[in-house]
Amino acid sequence: MNNIKLLIPAAGQGTRLGLDYPKTLLVIDGKTILSRIIEVFNKYDSCPTIIVSKKGKKLINDHLKNCSLRAELIVQDTALGMGNSILCFKKSKFYNSSENLMVIWGDIPFIQSDTIDSVVKFHISNNNHFTFPTRFVKDPYTKVIRDNNNSVIDIQETRENINSTVVDGEREIGFFIFNNKIILNMLNKNLLGKISNITKEHGFLYLIKHLFKKGFKIQGLPIATSDDIISINTKIDLEKLKVKK
């Protein structure tokens, strides 16, 4: 389907969860987060690319074999941020043949197939360069900024602006589809905001304001469900999930 590939950044070790293995291998309701993601995206890509750490490569590879799942594994030599992780896709055997790249953070276990289908369909039919689902929530971790024409002009990470007061707002959920070559080319450039003020790592969402300024077509679709936005990063997240379930 328009040469769509799936990329799953999964090099994180889950230290905030107290894990000694990649957090994508965390079992929730009898399945790992990773296997859930691969299965729900299977109709678009039956052999996704997964970015792994040196330490986590064997664990993830063994898990895939045990579940009879296929994937291409690429090692991120050093954890230098999400932007750097996505740039690792340049090493993929699918890089030159893929037009659109889907990226989903490796801590989102319950993204719904209907949400994925709607975003992909909208992206392709509107010839977008960058498309993602959103949801209005309390105290958003990231905040989608729109202009008076309702166009997305930026996505701000609230931790990067310690002086701002964050209230209810629209956030992205950690799933994106975009033109592969355009985005990876921009990730290679030394653009304003590339390096996080807090983590000192190569970010990703800073690209939105640069894409807008250059006239690329970006759209955020406020269609994400309450299940779509569940992410597992800390022990508190796990406890909240147990209460919800």
**Residues 230, 108 contacting (CB under 8 angstroms):** yes
Q: How many domains does the chain have?
A: 1
| Cα 45 to Cα 7: distance, rounded to the nearest angstrom | 10
Phi-psi sector, 79: left (phi>0), alpha (psi -120 to 50), beta: beta
Q: What is the pLDDT of residue 242?
A: 63
| Cα 92 to Cα 94: distance, rounded to the nearest angstrom | 5
CATH of the domain at 200: 3.90.550.10
pTM of the prediction?
Answer: 0.93
CA-closest candidate to residue 199, choices 103, 90, 85 = 85
Neighbours of 219 (CB within 10 A): 17
Strand partners, 58: none
**Residues 176, 131 contacting (CB under 8 angstroms):** yes
Q: Which domain holds residue 82?
A: 4-244
Q: What is the pLDDT of residue 232?
A: 87
The three-class DSSP label of residue 100 is strand
| Phi, psi for 126 (deg, rounded to 5) | -100, 5
Q: Provide the CB-side half-sphere exposure for 68 (13 A, CA).
A: 0
Q: What is the pLDDT of residue 189?
A: 97
The β-bridge relationship of strands 152-157 and 142-146 is antiparallel
| Phi, psi for 102 (deg, rounded to 5) | -95, 135
| Cα 69 to Cα 67: distance, rounded to the nearest angstrom | 5
Q: Residue 13 has which token pair?
A: 């070790």
Q: pLDDT digit of tens for each residue in the chain (245 aa)?
A: 558 999 999 997 777 787 888 999 999 989 999 999 999 999 999 999 999 999 999 999 999 999 999 999 999 998 899 999 999 999 999 999 999 999 999 999 999 999 999 999 999 999 999 999 999 999 898 999 999 999 999 999 876 665 555 578 999 999 999 999 999 999 999 999 999 988 899 999 999 999 999 999 999 999 999 999 999 877 777 777 764 54
Beta-strand runs (E) in 117-212: 130-137, 142-146, 152-157, 169-172, 175-179
